[in-house]
Amino acid sequence: MIGFDYGTSNCAVGVMEGNNPKILPLGDHGRYIASNLYAPSRDVIVNWLYKHLPPAEQTTFQRQRQRQLLKGQAALRELALDGYPTELSFGVQALNNYLQEPDEGYYIKSPKSFLGASGLLPQQIELFEDIVAAMMSNVKRLTEATLGRGVTQTVIGRPVNFQGLRGEESNRQALQILTNAARRVGFKEVEFQFEPVAAGFEYEARLEKETRVLVVDIGGGTTDCSMLLMGPKQAAAQDRTGDLLSHSGERVGGNDFDIAFALKGMMPGFGMDSMLKTGKAVPVNSYWQAMAINNINHQTEFYSAANGRFLQQLIRDAERPELLSRLLTVQKNKLSYRVVNAAEQGKIALTDCPQQRVDLSDIDDGFTLDLDRDGFASACQRELAKIAALMQDAIAQAGCRPDVVFVTGGTAKSPVLSQFLQQQFQHTPIVIGDHFGSVTAGLTRWARTIYS
């Protein structure tokens, strides 16, 4: 049995060693593998997945997906003839492969962000299930190689809401995709646990008395809050329904902070906020679409041929055409992920330094941007306000104030977030958990509880 944090930003796996959870190393990736996938062609994902499925699943899969498999085989032959690699890559290697040739291949970051999206066509849901299954298969194989044995039982973390407030249909859709993918790659028993609840279970192990804990999990794709009644007595129970006093959650997380920072902190260097020769402001819609890497429709619109022609006309009409030419370069070479990744890396660097210079010379010769913490805080006011509302919603639902606030999630490492949380809870102790490992550890504890 394992605890499996299939996260928006990273994936991790835990097993129990005695009374303590241990986060496993996953081959060369270390304990955390970035939730990215790169394929030399989208059509070959289904073939890679077929090759790595358990034998019992291959026959059914082949019968169901014969047309896609044949299409993938043709793509594989063409790639081999052209001398391109034919394997999928994951984690940091997937990002590196994308950055080497961003206009080639198929790259997806944080597919968990899309699973609850409304209006997905059946073929899109099928594609996301294949992508999730491929990532889970890779993690499962690495886990089994580390343990030297198979794993068939798992507890997978889930946000309170995948898409938005009260989005139960979105939640059902996302959970069905995750369940189908997990069972396809060989997990025989699959259960889910709210990510903030799991993080709370890990914190609970150190408590010596009954405590009301507000868990705030600021992850890559969502922020989730749970008010929990915790302590030694509660930890011994298998049914924790009565201890879960409230939940709130929304799709606002690290990805949204990165996108906001890229848009407001970097896009001015691409011509946003500049003027046309007529004296009017440059339209901002294409800038929003360019940075919205977690929105399928916006990205499709941005990379359309019609938008390319629109940007060319804007360049002719602009007072500073050299700036807008950078946005056209992003559009022509499919560099949205490249720019948002630069914002993400800048955000991470600002954890230790108040200022950071970002090199974008691959987009325009000599192009650099200076970022700072104040700019990050200013860019993310909307996201911070949403998190404040979620915390207050959880407190209001519970009808009581927390004795302690337990904070986890990689985004919470930012000094801007730390200062923000201190301002929200000036008279309540704030405990910082393992930013990346608390959820995995708690899922692992819960796996032992329900499967033992």
Residue 389 lies in a domain: yes
Last residue of one domain, picked from the residues 336, 358, 379: 379
Has residue 95 been placed in a domain?
Answer: no
Mean pLDDT across 288-292: 95
Query: Mean pLDDT throughout 206-214?
Result: 94
pLDDT of residue 423: 93
Distance CA 409, CA 386 (A): 16
- Do 268 and 370 lie in one domain? The reply is yes
The verdict on 356 and 304 lying in the same domain is: yes
pLDDT higher than threshold 80 for residue 164: no
What integer pLDDT is reported at residue 220 of this predicted model?
Answer: 86
Q: Which domain holds residue 321?
A: 255-379
Asked if the structure places residue 115 within a domain, the reply is no
For residues 234 and 335, state if they share a domain: no
pTM of the model as a whole: 0.86
Q: What is the CATH number of the domain that holds 245?
A: 3.30.420.40
| Same domain, residue pair 280 and 347 | yes
Q: What is the pLDDT of residue 294?
A: 83
Each residue's pLDDT tens digit, 40-84: 988 999 999 999 998 888 988 989 899 999 999 999 998 888 878
pLDDT tens digit sequence for 223-236: 999 999 999 998 88
User: What per-residue confidence (pLDDT) applies to 166?
Assistant: 52
Inform me whether the pLDDT recorded for 36 exceeds 90: yes
**Count of structural domains, the chain:** 2
Q: How many CB atoms lie within 10 A of CB 209?
A: 9
